[in-house]
Structure 1
Amino acid sequence: MFDEQDIMSLCKDAGFYPADEVKQLSKGWWSQAYSFRHEGKDWVLRINGSDKDFRKDQKAWELLHEITPVPGIRLIGKFRDNFYAVSEKCSGITLIDDHVTSSEIVFELFDTLLQMRTFNTNGLNGWALMNERFEGTYNSWEDWLLSFHNHKMDYTLQQLVNDGLFESMLHKVALNRIKQLLPFCKTEKYLVHGDAGFDNVLSDGKKITGVIDWGEAALGDFLYDIAYLFFNTETVDYKGYWQQFVQQRQLQIPFMEERLRCYQMVIGLNSVAIAAHTRNEKIYHLDRNKLMQLL
């Protein structure tokens, strides 16, 4: 944890001094974020133990800023045993559940995510989770869906079962159902954010003003981002909004329901694994119940 003096020292080392109005924005598993003001402009400072996610953010801006509101990173550097990145501050507020106040905002979110389909991925190698050079790290989209792997947490199925919370039968049943749905998930290669919505998307109430944190970015099916919204909220009816959106936009998406269900189960299985690994029993049982309803 960093105090205000640490942040001021970091800003000075990075050439952003004096830094005024320093405020902590978030404290996640992997990073901390702060806002500050320098020479009349608002900035965001993030600190992480690795610079890989920052490099992916930088690559996302380079490739996507003309079609998606990705904030530009001005500087990536090292501070003590950590890495930091300074980026432009997006206007608006994050789309955490109580900030989603209208269907117009949700439709803007869907439009923003689907706009990424226009990006030509032919020059990007591999599939699924990307490295900081935006190269997929799997041979196929299907390989990743079946991998039961988290690139930021070191666990195996056997370790989770041995720890006593994770149920091997739950994994077996969910994996079999995912395999049944895989034939419907053949897809062209699209750019996928992988962690869209909530505190990674900002809005001014009318437009989406920022899509941030590309650490989970992947190459695969654009519907994965929609399924992520479905699974990870209970207070916003993203499923209902999506049905309205598809009808209004007259979208024709082959095997849409099968693909969305498959990805929700993949997300759910990974979610209960993370909860088991971190010994968060409340989240484990909550996500387990959601996963069971999909089987």
Structure 2
Amino acid sequence: MTAYEKPTVEITEVDVVLSKYFGSNVTEITPLKGGNLSAVFSFSVFDNEYVIKFSDLEGSFETEKFISTLLTSKGISFPQCVGLGKYKLLNYLISEKINGHNLASSSLEQQRRMLPEVIHILKLMNQVELGKTSGYGTINASGNGTYNSWNEYVIATNAEDQEGTFWEGWYSLFETSCLEKDVFFECYNRLISYSKYNESHRYFIHGDFHQWNILSDGQKITGIIDSNGKYGDFLVDLATLDWHLKKLNVIEVYQNYQHQQGITIPNFKERLIGAKYYNGLIGLRFYAKMGWNDAYFSLRDELLSLTN
């Protein structure tokens, strides 16, 4: 299996799509860095700034529109969806642009200063009312989780058969990449053992809650972007944040915040370990597929030492 390559879209093609929505008023179409799965551009219409994303993966943008409505209706700063459609073989989503730069571009000290705000946003996402939605795991276009339980979702996520998804044929990575079969299944068995602690908890999960998807003006957090939304234990998002901001003692800051709020989280340690194995197995496959060997081996070593 070769490394995944996001679609290539020319600015002239972007202009064709945008003219349907905004006529000839579109200016400053600019490719944006980031977005491992989508081609992303910013643009302006008069004094308003927007973003358009293109993907060849089915269904993700319909879900993002649902998540946009879910989060913005609760006062969480997340890009509001403006348009959704198809261009040639690609899906696209147009949304309002949130001002700011990704948190990764801030200094370590700035990130440390803004971490309490990040933790507060995580809490707000935990508290989103899920209404009449049902199910666990990946949120589909109807707003429901795709699976009946977290355990069912975990098993399906790591199954060999992933036809029609980003992970189709992923078992070939054992032969063509740095992904080690014995390591993967050792961590998978540990995941199954610990995920029973995550099983009964159903909240909104951002799914990619890290410094590249958190925006800031350098002084405060201005919003979050690019959810890979799921239903399950919100400690999955905390585990993601902790992995990406290793130098900031994220877990300690989070636990202090919860203590100040008078919030007790049952089985915190076990749930966090389950969340780290869940994220870690996705990370191992993703790094292997993208050819990011250094990131793979770093994560591999962390997972293997997690419960030693």
Q: Partners in 1 of 2:11 and 2:300 — Cα distance?
A: 40
Give yes or no for the alignment of 1:283 onto 2:295. yes
Q: Deviations over 1:32-56 (max 9, x none)?
A: 1111111221111211224622211
TM-score under structure 2 normalisation? Answer: 0.85
Alpha-carbon deviation of 1:285?
A: 1.3
**Aligned pair count?**
293
Aligned residue among 131, 136, 150 for 2:140: 131
Aligned residue among 248, 251, 254 for 2:260: 248
Alpha-carbon deviation of 1:97?
A: 6.0
Corresponding position of 1:152: 166
Alpha-carbon deviation of 1:201?
A: 2.0
Give yes or no for the alignment of 1:90 onto 2:98. yes
Aligned residue among 111, 122, 138 for 1:113: 122
Give 3-state SS (helix, strand or coil) of 1:71's partner. coil
Alpha-carbon deviation of 1:110?
A: 1.3
Corresponding position of 2:49: 42
Give the 3 Å change call, closer, same or farther, for CA 12–126 of structure 1 in structure 2: same
- The answer to whether the 8 Å contact 1:53/1:213 transfers is no
Unaligned runs of 5+ in 1: none
**One-letter amino acid of the counterpart of residue 260, structure 1:** L
Q: RMSD between aligned alpha carbons?
A: 2.4
Alpha-carbon deviation of 1:23?
A: 1.8
For residues 178-257 of structure 1, the aligned pairs below 5 Å read 178-214=191-227, 216-257=228-269
Corresponding position of 2:4: none
- The answer to whether the 8 Å contact 1:46/1:86 transfers is yes
**One-letter amino acid of the counterpart of residue 263, structure 1:** A
Task: Give the % identical residues.
Answer: 24
Corresponding position of 1:59: 66
Give 3-state SS (helix, strand or coil) of 1:96's partner. helix
Corresponding position of 2:278: 266
- The answer to whether the 8 Å contact 1:97/1:235 transfers is no
- The answer to whether the 8 Å contact 1:192/1:218 transfers is yes
**One-letter amino acid of the counterpart of residue 61, structure 1:** S
Q: Partners in 2 of 1:177 and 1:49 — Cα distance?
A: 33
TM-score under structure 1 normalisation? Answer: 0.88
Alpha-carbon deviation of 1:253?
A: 0.5
Alpha-carbon deviation of 1:250?
A: 3.5
Alpha-carbon deviation of 1:138?
A: 1.4
Aligned residue among 14, 17, 26 for 2:24: 17
Alpha-carbon deviation of 1:165?
A: 3.1
Give the 3 Å change call, closer, same or farther, for CA 39–122 of structure 1 in structure 2: closer
Corresponding position of 2:5: none
Alpha-carbon deviation of 1:140?
A: 0.5
